[in-house]
Amino acid sequence: MELQNRREFGKKMLGTTLNYFLLESLFTSQAFASSVRPVATHWAKQLTEICNDLKLQKIPPVLWQQQVEKLFNQIELPELLKFIDFETLTRGFDYPDLGVNTRMVKFPKLDGLPEKTVFIRKIFGMKKGRAIIPHGHSNMSSAHLVLKGEFALKHYDKVAEEDKYLLIKPTIEKTAGVGSSSSVSDEKNNIHWFIANTETAFTFDVIMVDLGGKAYDIHNIDIAAGEKAGNGLIRAAKLDVETALKKYGKQHH
């Protein structure tokens, strides 16, 4: 009888505990959805519409860049961090010794937001001195917002593509702090290169691939060893990922 009573008591306690956590989870979820609803209606919906327009070729890539960066500048950073649940995403984050690590971002389920979108959402994180290695894109556009830390950021236009080289021209060189944004497309600032200046650094990225019905591609390039080609142009050799990471994934002093 004593053993049976203990079992019954244990079942009741387990049920009470589970109910408590279920209720707490439900309450937290509802409170979270309520707190981010203004963000979802004013910001995430607009982002979805802009990306749909680019995918359907209703707007050119340069206009998409302008509009997404404008949205990045409009949203308050604490709201965005809460909306994407940045704290959970970065808990136990694995910082590689070379280059960068990523995690997919999920938007909360809110009215008017589709579960599947035409754009990819990620955060990119790295340690000091590590880099998103210099690379260019084809049939792809992306926008990047600094969420934490600071980067040395460089951009280049892709003027022409050869078999083993890209012909590029410098366009932007700046220090990108929290709240700073940038973007790339086939038409403008196609190549970028981020180096973390702080102990850790993160970006939030919106990525569009396979634009114009063509498969996207990424070209890692050797900018440091590039040849001057006149008129401010640089001819930079294409690199495989392993070689590019060894040379650019970590600053060597």
pLDDT digits (tens, 9 = 90+) for 8-44: 434 443 343 334 333 333 333 444 445 555 655 678 8
Within a domain: 15? no
DSSP-derived secondary structure letter, 187: S
CA atoms of 131 and 134, how far apart (whole Å): 8
Within a domain: 125? yes
pLDDT digits (tens, 9 = 90+) for 39-59: 556 788 899 999 999 999 999
Within a domain: 141? yes
Say what percent of the chain tops pLDDT 70.
83
Within a domain: 119? yes
**For the chain, what is the domain count?**
1
pLDDT digits (tens, 9 = 90+) for 232-247: 999 999 999 999 999 9
Within a domain: 24? no
Within a domain: 2? no
Residues comprising the chain, all counted: 253
Torsion sign, CA atoms 172, 176, 180, 182: positive
Within a domain: 131? yes
Residue found under tokens 């990620």:
122
Within a domain: 23? no
What CATH number should be reported for the domain holding residue 106? 2.60.120.10
Domain that holds residue 162: 29-248
